[in-house]
Amino acid sequence: MNYASYIALIPLLPLVGFVLLGLFGRKYLKHSSGIIGTGLLLVSTVLSLYTAYNYFFVDGKVEDSYQTITAVKFTWLSFSENVSIDMGIILDPISVMMLVVVTFVSLMVHIFSLGYMKGEERFATYYAFLGLFTFSMLGLVVSSNLFQIYMFWELVGVSSYLLIGYYYDKPSAVAASKKAFVVTRFADLGFLVGILILAFYGGTLDFNTLIERLTSQQSSQFLAITTASFVGVSALTWGLTLIFIGGAGKSAMFPLHIWLPDAMEGPTPVSALIHAATMVVAGVYLVARLFPLFTLTPVSLSIVTVVGIVSAFLAAIIACTQTDIKRVLAYSTMSQIGYMMFALGVSGYGGENGLGYTASMFHLFTHAFFKSLLFLGAGVVIHFIHSNEMKDMGGLRKYLPITNFSFLVACLAIAGIPPLAGFFSKEEILLATYNSNKIVYGVALFTSGLTAFYMFRLYFSIFWNKQTEVHNHHGEGPFSMKFPLMILAFCSIFAGLIPFGEYVSSDKTMLKSHFDPMFSIAPVAFGVIGILLAMWMYKKESTKAEKISQSLGGLYRAAYKKFYIDEIYLFITKKIIFNLIGRPAAWIDRNIVDGLMNGIANTTASVSGFIKGIQSGKVQSYAIYFFGGIVALAIVFLYLWK
Amino acid sequence: MTDIPVSHILFVSTALFFIGMYGLFTRRNMITMLMSIELILNSVNINFVVFNKYLYPDKLNGIFFTIFIITIAAAEAAVAIAIIINLYRSHKSIDVETAEEMKY
């Protein structure tokens, strides 16, 4: 069947929304902009669900393995016969899965924002930016080559920047958007260099061709990229590691995670969409996209593993100490993405070895639902209480029954309690880790206990604990805010039951679902212990938490201060880079570059001042010049011209 | 009449030319400047006539030029006086130094 006819519409419809609302939104479509944006995205969502149905159940599968289908392909920039940059859409299990996730979560966020952002001055602009983001993210997931993915990668960065800085009159939001942009840009430098290395040795930007060439051991490209080396490390490892740096920046992996907690300055639905479900998993998606290449170099894969597990563990500890509910969720996101990363890192290629790959993608899939649900729930709470701080909340279960229920579902899901979605995906990750690396498994297991603890610390602090006085009576907000919560809660409960391995696996063949009740005892036990601990500390108003945090002393303070990573960055940039590089550069700029320019300008000005003095406006001096000229000519022609 | 040497006449014309030049450069009154220009033109006329007379006595080319110059000088005087009148109307003065708005 011909996919091209409608699949291009999936990313293009949000783009249409962006252009329409961006150009005319503020003047003409002020009140209908939300409906327009949501309507266009609804069509996209339906189309992508239809695509997924077609791909997975009708004609994607040939002889028990899913084919990579190039739905659209055209040359965008043609430099010479061999060098051109293409644009295209490829369909394979992960891109189809991402299409569904992105459009679906984006649709939920669009609907939620109808209520949440109502009455905002720049309502239309908000929907225009959401449209831009959705377009770029969809373009990213269906990219057929490295350059296209890089372009859309930057586009999602831009739209993330715009949306974090949406409240541009708030200095903290402006600073956060700048920070997010600079940190991810910095990481993208690595990505770009990695792309150039792979493209140089592989001779192509196209994913399929590149993977095909580099994975066959006899190909000239494979020999070239493995024999070429820099500082004793092969070019392949360099390229992939640099690409992973780009992915780590986007996915907020340690030590490039510092922008994510600050990015919570944006509107809460935006955090749900960009900083929980879609954009931040782009790094995971990128590694998954190039996974056949990553399996060629154990070094790159172990970097992925180490970065993933360190991020997962650190973020979980920090999340236990934060008091801003959105920051807790941000660190939780970072921790869960860490899970996805190290699941990829411990995975092998093909068959049973590829379990980690499947598990990672599965976790990405389920995480999108429950994390966006958590953020939207937090949005309802913030909408209701007008504060982000936990200390202003408590006992809200009576006022916000639906939010209470859906938040609980999401917390249980992320804590890995059966039979909710998070249980199955986390289970597979832990199983894959157990099979390949026991140390990572131990840390991951402990982290899953921490996850349960901090999520339920959040839950109990918001919905139980002390009773807060509530002065407003607008309740949970309009139906448009409750509806996405219910839908996402439904998904968080049942998404885990999908036999994911049958659809997504490293070599695109079927992988049986792994479910071993004996193995699940340990993770579930850790989760339950975490929940009970949180319940004991936070269900009733008490001083237990404070006492414990005091007894931990320095460790607690370090975690509360996010292990001083921001301070280290500030020290390196302000003290070292600014003093050693910034100041000399500024001096050269001010004195030498500017001096040169000013010198030229001053010379020109003084010369012109002299010349314009000739035009004095005195007719008689003109007459003298004229006469002098005639005399001079006469002398020349009479005496000098021989 | 015929024994006036050509150098005498050329001397007169040169003197006339430089008197005109001097007046043109030093006087600020535009009428006087116009008169100086007339002196210069007349010195040229004298030159034309003299050279015509002494070099090509049987031709009239120099004379023609002189008549042309007299005609043009008349037209030039008309235009110049019109300019001077307009200048006087706008500046209440015919001092050439007052008309310097267009400098630089």
pLDDT tens digits along B41-88:
999 999 999 999 888 888 898 899 999 999 999 999 999 999 999 999
Place of tokens 């050509």: B6
Q: Using CA atoms, how far apart are residues A552 and A543, in angstroms rounded to an integer?
A: 14
**B96 contact A CB<8A:** yes
Q: Do B25 and A620 touch (CB under 8 A)?
A: yes
Residue A487 identity (one-letter amino acid) = I
| Among the listed residues A139, A135, A84, A134, the one whose alpha carbon sits nearest the alpha carbon of residue A108 | A134
Mutate to test the interface with A, among B25, B34, B39, B84 (most CBs of A within 10 A): B25
User: Looking at the partner chain, which of A615, A620, A627 has a beta carbon nearest the beta carbon of B104?
Assistant: A615
Mutate to test the interface with B, among A608, A618, A621, A630 (most CBs of B within 10 A): A618
Decide which of A42 and A522 is more confident. Answer: A42
Place of tokens 């239809």: A50
Residue A282 identity (one-letter amino acid) = A
Tokens of A400: 């916000």
Write out pLDDT tens, residues A275-332: 888 888 888 999 888 888 888 888 888 888 999 999 998 888 888 888 888 888 888 9
Query: Could you tell me if A152 and A136 are in contact, meaning their C-beta atoms sit under 8 angstroms apart?
Result: yes
CA atoms within 13 A on the CB side of A345: 28
Q: What is the dihedral of CA A271, A254, A176, A185, to 10 degrees?
A: -100
User: Looking at the partner chain, which of B24, B26, B102 has a beta carbon nearest the beta carbon of A617?
Assistant: B102
pLDDT at A467 over 50: yes
* Phi, psi angles (nearest 5°) of residue B14: -65, -45
Residue A514: what pLDDT?
62
By DSSP bridging, strand A84-91 and strand A229-230 are unpaired
User: B104 contacts in A (CB within 8 Å)?
Assistant: 612, 615, 617
**B92 contact A CB<8A:** no
Q: pLDDT grade, residue A1 (50/70/90)?
A: very low
Distance in Å, alpha carbon of B71 to nearest chain A alpha carbon? 23
| Among the listed residues A404, A365, A367, A399, the one whose alpha carbon sits nearest the alpha carbon of residue A486 | A404
Q: What is the DSSP string of A236-283?
A: HHHHHHHHHHHHHHHTT-TTSTTHHHHGGGS-HHHHHIIIIISGGGHH
pLDDT at A501 over 80: no
| Among the listed residues A504, A258, A230, A519, the one whose alpha carbon sits nearest the alpha carbon of residue A360 | A504
**In angstroms, what CA-CA distances link A477 with A123, A126, A166, A411?**
17, 19, 22, 22
Q: For A616, which residue in chain B has the nearest alpha carbon?
A: B103
Residue A68, judged by CB atoms within 10 A of its CB (0-12, 13-18, 19+), counts as middle
| Among the listed residues A64, A52, A47, the one whose alpha carbon sits nearest the alpha carbon of residue A92 | A52
Cα Rg, chain B, nearest whole Å: 17
Percentage of the residues of chain A whose pLDDT score is greater than 90: 7
Residues sharing a CB contact under 8 Å with residue A603, sequence separation 6 or more, in sequence order: none
Residue A563: what pLDDT?
75
Q: How far is CA A239 from the centre of its chain?
A: 21
Residue A60: what pLDDT?
67
Q: What is the DSSP string of A154-214?
A: HHHHHHHHHHHTTSTTSHHHHHHHHHHHHHHHHHHHHHHHHHHHHHHHHS--BHHHHHHHH
Tell me the mean pLDDT in the region A464-472: 72
Distance in Å, alpha carbon of A259 to nearest chain B alpha carbon? 58
Residue A193, judged by CB atoms within 10 A of its CB (0-12, 13-18, 19+), counts as middle
Q: pLDDT grade, residue A2 (50/70/90)?
A: low
Write out pLDDT tens, residues A362-376: 888 888 888 889 888
User: Looking at the partner chain, which of A612, A619, A627 has a beta carbon nearest the beta carbon of B96?
Assistant: A619
Give start and end residues of each alpha helix (H) in A60-122: 93-116
Of A8-22, A164-178, A376-390, B7-21, the range with the highest mean pLDDT is B7-21
Q: Do A615 and B24 touch (CB under 8 A)?
A: no
User: B26 contacts in A (CB within 8 Å)?
Assistant: 620
Place of tokens 């339906």: A46
Q: Using CA atoms, how far apart are residues B14 and B4, in angstroms rounded to an integer?
A: 16
Identify the weakest region by mean pLDDT among A74-83, A117-126, B2-11: A74-83
**A610 contact B CB<8A:** no
Omega before A419 cis (within 30°)?
yes
pLDDT at A61 over 80: no
Write out pLDDT tens, residues B1-48: 567 888 899 999 999 999 999 999 899 899 999 999 999 999 999 999
Tell me the mean pLDDT in the region A148-159: 90
pLDDT at A175 over 50: yes
Q: pLDDT grade, residue A461 (50/70/90)?
A: confident
* Phi, psi angles (nearest 5°) of residue A605: -65, -40
Decide which of A321 and A607 is more confident. Answer: A607
**B83 contact A CB<8A:** no
To 5 degrees, how large is the angle CA A318–CA A321–CA A324? 100
pLDDT at A250 over 60: yes
What is the set of domains in chain B, with CATH numbers? 6-91 (1.10.287.3510)
Average pLDDT, chain A: 84
Distance in Å, alpha carbon of A162 to nearest chain B alpha carbon? 50
Q: What is the dihedral of CA A26, A28, A34, A40, to 10 degrees?
A: -110
User: A619 contacts in B (CB within 8 Å)?
Assistant: 96, 99
| Among the listed residues A390, A323, A334, A392, the one whose alpha carbon sits nearest the alpha carbon of residue A561 | A323
State the CB neighbour count (10 A cutoff) for residue A171: 10
Q: Do B103 and A615 touch (CB under 8 A)?
A: yes
Of A44-58, A412-426, B70-84, the range with the highest mean pLDDT is B70-84
**A614 contact B CB<8A:** no
pLDDT at A25 over 60: yes
Of A203-207, A291-295, A537-541, the range with the highest mean pLDDT is A291-295
Write out pLDDT tens, residues A352-406: 777 888 888 888 888 888 888 988 888 888 888 877 887 777 777 778 888 888 8
Place of tokens 């990573």: A565
| Among the listed residues A477, A495, A493, A482, the one whose alpha carbon sits nearest the alpha carbon of residue A111 | A482
Q: Do A620 and B96 touch (CB under 8 A)?
A: yes
Residues sharing a CB contact under 8 Å with residue A505, sequence separation 6 or more, in sequence order: A93, A354, A357, A358, A511
Q: Do A617 and B103 touch (CB under 8 A)?
A: yes
pTM of the model: 0.77
Identify the weakest region by mean pLDDT among A97-106, A134-143, A530-539, A618-627: A530-539
Task: Name the A residues in 13-42 with CB < 8 Å from any B CB.
Answer: none
Give start and end residues of each alpha helix (H) in chain B: 6-26, 30-55, 61-91
Mutate to test the interface with B, among A608, A619, A626 (most CBs of B within 10 A): A619
Report the length, in residues, of chain B. 104
pLDDT at A123 over 80: yes
* Residue A322 DSSP one-character state: -
| Among the listed residues A163, A138, A139, the one whose alpha carbon sits nearest the alpha carbon of residue A151 | A139
Residue B47: what pLDDT?
92
Residue A472: what pLDDT?
67
| Among the listed residues A263, A274, A330, A268, the one whose alpha carbon sits nearest the alpha carbon of residue A115 | A268
Distance in Å, alpha carbon of B97 to nearest chain A alpha carbon? 6
Residues sharing a CB contact under 8 Å with residue A510, sequence separation 6 or more, in sequence order: A64, A65, A501, A502
Residue A4: what pLDDT?
62
Residue A543: what pLDDT?
73
Q: Using CA atoms, how far apart are residues A179 and A165, in angstroms rounded to an integer?
A: 10
Sign of CA dihedral A517, A519, A525, A527: negative
Q: What is the dihedral of CA A212, A213, A216, A221, to 10 degrees?
A: -170
Decide which of A204 and A15 is more confident. Answer: A15
Query: Could you tell me if B10 and B36 are in contact, meaning their C-beta atoms sit under 8 angstroms apart?
Result: no
Decide which of A230 and A429 is more confident. Answer: A429
Identify the weakest region by mean pLDDT among A198-202, A531-535, A549-553: A549-553
